[in-house]
Amino acid sequence: MTNAPADQQLFLISQHAIDPGTCVVCVEGELDLTTAPRLKMALHEMLHAGFKQIVVDLAEVSFLDSTSLGVLIGVKRSLDPGARLAIVCKHPNVIRIFEFAGLDVTFATFSDFDEALAHVRGSADPAS
């Protein structure tokens, strides 16, 4: 039995469809230079599968770097007209990173999953 190095953080990513047009990509751990490519791959898989409403659930993410922000920006730019993307983030450090980068106004960010889901489905106030 081998043990992972103590400094290696747990990173998990999952994706699932809620309905034929809506999917969720959930991330847990730290999003950085080494893990951002997995987020990019997961999001592109969902886009290529035809999903138009995407919730990126970062509620369990404790750190996010500029590489990960770049992935999210790239995905947002590649969305088809009418497609919607919402981000769930609860960790104060992650929220601050979005704010410091000025991306809290670029992305629809929510602290509650249900609000993010309502937004991508078009049933939430776009100003929220």
Helix (H, G, I), strand (E, B) or coil at 16: strand
pLDDT tens by residue, 42-93: 999 999 999 999 999 999 999 999 999 999 999 999 999 999 999 999 999 9
Count how many domains the chain has. Answer: 1
Beta bridge partners, 63, equal 30
SS3 98: helix
- Residue 1 belongs to some domain of the structure: no
CATH number of 81's domain: 3.30.750.24
- Quick check: is 3 in a domain? no
For residue 10, what pLDDT is reported?
86
Higher pLDDT, 5 or 29: 29
Q: Is residue 126 part of a domain?
A: no
Confirm whether 5 is domain-assigned. Answer: no
Residue numbers of the domain that contains 16: 12-120
Q: How many other C-beta atoms can be found within 10 angstroms of the C-beta atom of residue 125? A: 8
Residue 65 lies in a domain: yes
